Structure 1
Amino acid sequence: MFWVLFGIFLAACLAAGSTGGLFSPGPWYRNLNKPSWTPPDWVFPAVWTTLYLCMATAGARVALLPDNGLAMAFWSLQVALNGLWTPVFFGLKRIKLGMAVLSALWLSVAATLWALWQVDAIAGLLFVPYLVWVSIAGALNASVWRLNPREAKESGELT
């Protein structure tokens, strides 16, 4: 049963991740000013593959346990927000709105980590790298916003 659940949770992660293929960074992002510590392009798919495997494992572990309702609700929320950021940031080119989505994602990942931990400590631990990565992504999004005020203003995001 674990492997069936793992497959379902992994499919949810891959569905969220598929937005990266639909809304790739492209020339718009490449031409933005970015901080010197921006990870190279190859890092993103490697990190996300690892994170999706951890997320699916955590979800499958907890789905089998009693009293998992809150953890499963938060898991569902974070994966939905995960899938939303890419179309907002890369598709709509909305840097500030992307930061809002990413902030909500960070909160939902932190809440998911906490809720998973209450049911299964290993599942909670599997979300720690995800929270770290979303923290890095948040700092990167904020830096891109700060370094590109004209692009944010042109998309109607700054008053």
Structure 2
Amino acid sequence: MFWICFALFLAACFAAGATGGLFPPGDWYKSLRKPGFTPPNWAFPVVWTTLYFCMAYAGALAAMVPGNGIAMALWSVQIALNGLWTPVFFGLRKMRLGLLVLALLWLSVAVSVVALWALDWRAGALFVPYLVWVSIAGALNWSVIRLNPDVAVQDPA
């Protein structure tokens, strides 16, 4: 039963991650000024793949524990917000709205850490690297807005 749950959670993660293929950064993003702490392009798929496996494992662990309703609801909220950011930022080119989505994602992941930890400390611990990465993503999103104020207020062509 655990491995079926893991596979289902992993499918949800990779469905959210598929938005990266549907809305690639492209020339628009390449043309933006970015802060010095911007990770290299190769790091994004490596980090996200690792995080998605951790998130799926955490979800499967929590799914096995009675009384998991709140944690499962939070897991669902965070993966929905995870999948929403890419179309907002890269698809719509709405950097400020993307930052709002990231703020909500960060909050949902932080609360998920607490809820998952209460069920199984391993599940909560598996979400900690995700919270760190979303924090970096938020700082990156904020910095891109600050470094490109003229672009941040424009609608896409």
Give the TM-score normalised by the residue count of structure 1: 0.97
Q: Could you tell me how far apart the structure 1 residues matched to 2:12 and 2:153 are?
A: 34
Partner in structure 1 of residue 35 of structure 2: 35
Alignment of 1:31-110 (within 5 A): 31-110=31-110
Alignment of 1:72-151 (within 5 A): 72-151=72-151
Q: Could you tell me how far apart the structure 2 residues matched to 1:122 and 1:10 are?
A: 17
Q: Offset of 1:27 from its aligned partner?
A: 0.2
Secondary structure, counterpart of 1:127 in structure 2: helix
Residues 51-106 of structure 1 deviation map (CA, whole Å, 9 limit, x = unaligned): 00000000000101111000000000000000000000000000000000000000
Partner in structure 2 of residue 19 of structure 1: 19
Q: Could you tell me how far apart the structure 2 residues matched to 1:88 and 1:47 are?
A: 21
Partner in structure 1 of residue 153 of structure 2: 153
Q: Could you tell me how far apart the structure 1 residues matched to 2:85 and 2:6 are?
A: 24
Q: Could you tell me how far apart the structure 1 residues matched to 2:14 and 2:140 are?
A: 23
Partner in structure 1 of residue 4 of structure 2: 4
Q: Offset of 1:149 from its aligned partner?
A: 0.4
Q: Offset of 1:155 from its aligned partner?
A: 2.2
**Runs of 4+ deviating beyond 4 Å:** none
Q: Could you tell me how far apart the structure 2 residues matched to 1:153 and 1:15 are?
A: 30
* Identical-residue share of aligned pairs (%): 67
RMSD across aligned positions (CA): 0.8
Q: Offset of 1:50 from its aligned partner?
A: 0.4
Q: Could you tell me how far apart the structure 2 residues matched to 1:152 and 1:84 are?
A: 18
1:49 is aligned with what amino acid? T
Give the TM-score normalised by the residue count of structure 2: 0.98
Query: Structure 1: which 5+ residue stretches go unaligned?
Result: none
2:115 is aligned with what amino acid? A
Q: Could you tell me how far apart the structure 2 residues matched to 1:135 and 1:85 are?
A: 14
Q: Could you tell me how far apart the structure 2 residues matched to 1:30 and 1:142 are?
A: 16
Aligned residues: 156
Secondary structure, counterpart of 1:38 in structure 2: coil
Residues 18-51 of structure 1 deviation map (CA, whole Å, 9 limit, x = unaligned): 0000000000000001001100000000000000
